[in-house]
């Protein structure tokens, strides 16, 4: 059998880092079914060339032919452009990829760029909140303008993301237990924990529903008795994450808060170029680095490919290929520890290609 993967590099450094992930997947040999890669179009450049940021063909092929997919990054303009809408937001909706799972962990680089004790997973709701993009602008009688956005929170979406978070916490607890038993150094000694991130002191209706729905997941069963549940208001979440990231295990958040705290967490561990994610639904999964198209460094072959490569590992492990996934992560860690091949975001001088090749060599 083969593994059919839709590959959507999209814009900017997506076109540089996605091929790196592809090379790593190709290098795994018979430990996974032979991957076939189907290049697919989407993005701002595609919009400018052909008028559609997300061609119907791309969605059709993903749905009908692919087992899973990898996405690079898209450039979205900061102003409204008629007919344009972010293809990644649309893809998450079309494929009902309701969870964005973002593990953020410090890396063993020698130059102290990475905080020494951070190992958390941010579980971001991926389909609603302010990202439903219902915005309108009106003009008041005095000619001044008022812009309004609708924020949608549903109990359905909040419950399923809550369940995902508790399941991840449960699994991480088991994995840490196994690691300890096999003599590995595990610094987390507490029970698994889910932190609910919200702002229901101010937004008591919307964030209130999110909070209640996630709480009900734990309260409705004894399955999660071994998982602690805590809450943090989103602003103090940022503060505590920077002060003492080691206290967090799994954090679950509505879409916008999840987006923001993920970039913050990426800074903690050294670079956005390190942090992977998967967009996961019940039927499909798509790997995607957390970063954007990075126009400030595109086209120079200096983007860090590790976020993209780790996204491929995350994708594999979510498809059940756990051993090949951990081989990829071990190769990445080895290259980081060695410190000889680091891209400029990590204080090094190596190119995207150099780092990719160093990882391939380790594999
Ligand atoms: P960004 O994530 O592209 O870049 C932020 C900073 O991190 C930049 O200084 C960039 O050089 C650095 N960076 C990001 N990835 C890196 C990597 N792999 N290696 C080394 N350095 C890296 O965010 P920014 O600049 O705010 O947005 C640029 C464009 O990306 C915008 O058009 C935005 O809409 C889009 N974007 C797309 C996302 C996606 O495709 N999922 C997510 C976030 C932003
Ligand atoms: Mg983001």
ipTM value for the complex: 0.98
Tell me the average pLDDT across 264-291. Answer: 95
What per-residue confidence (pLDDT) applies to 112? 66
For ligand 2, a single-atom ion, the residues with CB < 5 A are 259
Residue 1 confidence class, pLDDT cut points 50, 70, 90: confident
Which residue's CA is the closest to the ligand 1 atom numbered 40? 73
Cα of 292 from ligand 1 centre, angstroms: 3
For the chain, what percent of residues have pLDDT higher than 70? 99
Ligand nearest to the CA of 18: 1
Contact, 345 vs 304, CB < 8 A? yes
Ligand 1-lining residues (CB < 6 angstroms): 13, 17, 73-76, 88, 271-273, 291-297, 303-304, 307, 343, 345
Using CA atoms, how far apart are residues 302 and 172, in angstroms rounded to an integer?
A: 33
Nearest ligand 1 atom to alpha carbon 71: 40
- pLDDT of 78 reads 92
Between residues 184 and 289, the one the model is more confident about: 289
Question: What is residue 116's predicted lDDT score, i.e. its pLDDT?
Answer: 66
**Collapsing DSSP states into helix, strand and coil, what is residue 152?**
strand
Q: Tell me, what's the pLDDT at 257? A: 98
Residue nearest to atom 12 of ligand 1 (CA): 294
Contact 196, 231 (CB under 8 A): yes
Taken in order 309, 315, 317, 320, the sign of the CA dihedral is: negative
| Ligand 2 centroid to residue 254 C-alpha, Å | 13
Confidence class for position 356, pLDDT limits 50, 70, 90: very high
- As a dihedral over the C-alpha atoms of residue 316, residue 290, residue 70, residue 357, rounded to 10 degrees, the angle is -70
Q: What are phi and psi of 193, to 5 degrees?
A: -145, 140
Centroid of ligand 2 to alpha carbon of 189 (angstroms): 31
Is the model's pLDDT at 187 over the cut of 80? no
pLDDT of residue 166: 98
Q: Identify the three-state secondary structure at position 339.
A: coil
Which of 88, 293, 332 has most ligand 1 atoms within 8 Å of its beta carbon, as the pocket-test mutant? 293
Least confident of 187-191, 225-229, 282-286, 301-305: 187-191
Choice between 267 and 17, residue whose per-residue pLDDT is larger = 17
pLDDT digits (tens, 9 = 90+) for 39-74: 999 999 999 999 999 999 999 999 999 999 999 999
pTM here?
A: 0.95
Residues 24 and 258: their CA atoms lie apart, in Å, by: 28
Atom of ligand 1 nearest to the CA of 294: 3
- Go through the domains of the chain in sequence order and give each one's CATH number: 1-114+270-363 (3.40.718.10), 126-268 (3.40.718.10)
Which of 88, 79, 117, 110 is closest to 291 using CA atoms? 88
Q: Which of 291, 305, 356 to mutate to test ligand 1, by most ligand atoms within 8 A of the CB atom?
A: 291
pLDDT tens digits, residue range 240-256? 999 999 999 999 999 99
pLDDT of residue 113: 66
- Mean pLDDT on 168-195: 90
Residue nearest to atom 7 of ligand 1 (CA): 272
How far apart CA 70 and CA 287 sit, in angstroms, is 5
Q: Are strands 145-152 and 129-139 parallel, antiparallel or unpaired?
A: antiparallel
What's the CA-to-centroid distance between 310 and ligand 2, angstroms? 17
Q: What is the pLDDT of residues 102-113, one digit of tens each?
A: 999 988 887 766
Tell me the pLDDT band of 215, cut-offs 50, 70 and 90.
Answer: very high
């Amino acid at each position: 059998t083969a593994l059919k993967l839709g590959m959507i590099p999209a814009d900017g450094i997506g076109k540089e880092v996605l091929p790196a992930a592809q090379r790593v997947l190709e290098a795994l040999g018979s430990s996974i079914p032979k991957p076939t890669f189907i290049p697919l179009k989407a993005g701002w450049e595609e919009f400018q060339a052909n008028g559609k940021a997300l061609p119907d063909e791309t969605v059709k092929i993903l749905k009908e032919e692919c087992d899973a997919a990898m996405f690079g990054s898209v450039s979205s303009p900061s102003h409204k452009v008629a007919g344009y809408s972010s293809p990644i937001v649309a893809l998450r909706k079309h494929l009902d990829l309701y969870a964005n799972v973002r593990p953020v962990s410090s890396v063993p680089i020698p130059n102290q760029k990475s905080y020494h004790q951070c190992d958390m997973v941010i579980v971001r709701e991926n389909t609603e909140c302010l990202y439903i993009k219902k915005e309108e602008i009106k003009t008041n009688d005095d000619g001044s303008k008022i812009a309004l956005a609708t924020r949608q929170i549903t109990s359905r979406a909040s419950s399923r993301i809550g369940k995902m978070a508790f399941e991840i916490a449960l699994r991480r607890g088991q994995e840490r237990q196994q690691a300890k038993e096999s003599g590995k150094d595990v610094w987390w000694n507490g029970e698994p924990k889910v932190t609910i991130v919200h702002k229901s002191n101010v937004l008591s209706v919307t964030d209130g529903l999110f909070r209640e729905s996630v709480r009900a997941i734990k309260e409705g069963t004894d399955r999660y008795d071994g998982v602690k549940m805590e809450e943090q208001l989103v602003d103090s979440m940022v503060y505590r994450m920077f002060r003492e990231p080691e206290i967090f295990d799994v954090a679950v958040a509505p879409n916008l808060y999840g987006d923001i705290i993920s970039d913050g967490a990426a800074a903690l561990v050294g670079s956005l170029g390190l942090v992977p994610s998967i967009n996961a639904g019940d039927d499909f999964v798509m790997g995607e680095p957390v970063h954007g198209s990075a126009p400030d460094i595109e086209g120079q072959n200096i983007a860090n490919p590790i976020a993209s490569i780790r996204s491929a590992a995350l994708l594999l492990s979510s498809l059940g290929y756990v051993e090949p996934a951990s081989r990829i992560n071990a190769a990445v860690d080895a290259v980081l520890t060695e410190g000889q091949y680091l891209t400029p975001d990590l204080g090094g001088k190596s190119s995207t290609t150099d780092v990719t090749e160093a990882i391939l060599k380790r594999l």
